[in-house]
Structure 1
């Protein structure tokens, strides 16, 4: 399946996509009471996790490959247009406060640039060249991963990003919501979450968008778990940048250690507010500098640092 600028050919191509299919059974949806429409929509949404479940082996294999490269200093880059691009930018923007990653470690690229987050940028999604130009600013290496995201699986921007990244030796993932997509075929790891026709014909911000959000959540979250950004299910690398997160930091230390408030405050003060360091200081009975050294020697993995300290 290839993209084309011929309107007739493009229409035929779109009509062949599951995500664009028309559902005659919903042709009178606008006549239904609001509660009935809500029930229909909710019922449609419940099918998404099952569609994701079918592809869990492929998702897990992709995540392991991402984590291996990021563990050696690589970056994770999402590239998409429209809703798909916005979801990538959203996932990337949530990594620094959640996992204390550097803003350059997980990056979201959207066709048309930041302006496209809130408005349509004409023709941006149709350009492979634009994707190559956007990626050129990042100077990709073989340690990096580029995830092309496109519900249709035919968006030139996403395909162009994957093709360019793969040519440079970077790891590539193609996330689409149609079977036999050009995007999945272009990537080393193809992930196709087939959710079926949308409630509103062709509105892929609905089930397709939900599926993409679920998979992107998995990619970033599980990668960060593999990189030692968590301790159990606690976000021990959380960045305490506001009052809520500062309160959460203290709660995380309490949950991990069982220490009282005074001990938690002392540990956080001794470790410049670093949650992971404070937990190690309490559980291993070490001072702040020793906690920092143990974590550095353990690659940031708290369990490994605790083992090194004999705990």
Structure 2
């Protein structure tokens, strides 16, 4: 049997060689398809050859994705004897368990009038079983008969799983209730009035009579400047702590803050900047004058910013109310 297969394969190669070397008389577009076997076993590698006769330019052969799932492309080699004949030999490995038909594959050509698609022929290949004829005794003679089994063990297992699931559910629910009862209720955060905070910081400054060294005066002026900057940041939403005095003044003008507030703000912050950055050594009288300006600032913003602070309070209370409702709903 092997001898006949070898003779068949040799004859097939001679035929292929003749087709490749012979010139095509009419130069018509033709596609030929060859395989080197007619039957396969699992794991066999066989050759699948496509020969194209055409004067036109070849664009593309079939790719790995164009082949059936039962075969895998191991290798491919292209042969071109002359300009009018082209061929591609695929080495394919067979992984099927039944007869195989290699479907038509497309070959793209570029012609003067546009692209042309040629199709190969379908190639049937038969599946060769690994069992020898003398091993027929190993084949099943009759369908396997399914014996009836007792259903009671399955019913018992189902009931055990059902009871276990119910007990686990009850345990999880009890743990959840314990956590809900232990979870404290949400306590709304009270509103911090920026005006009262500013006033408290100014009132708790170190007494002027206790200022003796330059470091004392510097700390006094820095605390006044930072207190006013924090107030402007909270109420007027400007990053005053990171801004220079001129930048703060420009931002207040953009916010249409009153000229009176802008003027007193510039005076207080300029005095603080002189001590902090220019190392100006003030006297107690100058420190008292700066403190008076800070108190004047408090008196002015107590009226000009009253409406803004009320809006801030309402917005804060509304947000805290919503948080409290969400927290209470989650505990139910």
After TM superposition, the score normalised by the length of structure 1 is 0.21
Instruction: Tell which has more relative contact order, 1 or 2 (C-alpha 8 A, sep 6+).
Output: 1
Bigger CA radius of gyration: 2
